Amino acid sequence: MDLKSSAFKHEGKIPSLYTCDGENINPPLEINQVPKNAKSLVLIMDDPDVPKSRRPDGLFVHWVIYNMPPETSKLAENATPPGTQGTGTHGKANYFGPCPPDREHRYFIKLYAIDTVLKLNPSATKAEVEQAIKGHVIEETALMGTYVRIAK
């Protein structure tokens, strides 16, 4: 399985358009080679580089999507994705772009092909989704981008 973006390369810089300094819209994503036996897809975007003084767990969840159809081949820029959007750290069920408070951070967009459709309440959290996919992951992949805010 493969996850790419036409907006940035793996381990490359995320353009400011997709951040709190820009339009704060989701980047375009391309999904390829989903296993034939997948029943749904899960996508989670998070930042593991948050200062512990800001968040004790050191993590900020930017986007959670579950129950995406396995035939999903792309998520268009600034579009509502197929499936159900879960709740991120910002408390809403939508994309929230990178907005690091201190230095360059890494942003991991993780994609999971799973063998079931999740029975979760709408707006489930990352923790609830991760718990629900345990034992159901067929394959996974990730796209990582970085972002640092420019002092104005």
pLDDT digits (tens, 9 = 90+) for 16-53: 999 999 999 999 999 999 999 999 999 999 999 999 99
Let me know if residue 83 belongs to a domain. yes
Let me know if residue 128 belongs to a domain. yes
How do strand 40-47 and strand 105-114 relate by DSSP bridges? antiparallel
Let me know if residue 152 belongs to a domain. no
pLDDT for 134 equals 98
CA distance 143 to 130: 18
Q: Tokens representing 126?
A: 């990352």
> Looking at 1-152, which runs of residues are DSSP E strands?
2-4, 12-13, 29-32, 40-47, 60-68, 74-75, 84-85, 105-114, 137-147
Let me know if residue 29 belongs to a domain. yes
Q: Is the pLDDT of residue 152 over 70?
A: no
In the chain, the number of structural domains is 1
Kindly indicate the confidence band of residue 68, based on its pLDDT and cuts at 50, 70 and 90: very high
Domain that includes residue 72, residue range: 2-147
Write the pLDDT tens digit of every residue in 92-149: 999 999 999 999 999 999 999 999 999 999 889 999 999 999 999 999 999 999 999 9
Average pLDDT score over residue span 47-62: 95
CATH number at residue 20: 3.90.280.10
Kindly indicate the confidence band of residue 70, based on its pLDDT and cuts at 50, 70 and 90: very high
Let me know if residue 65 belongs to a domain. yes
pLDDT for 150 equals 80
The answer to whether 68 touches 146, Cβ cutoff 8 Å, is: no
What b/e sequence results for 136-145 when a residue is b if at least 16 CB atoms lie within 10 Å of its CB, and e otherwise? bebeebebeb
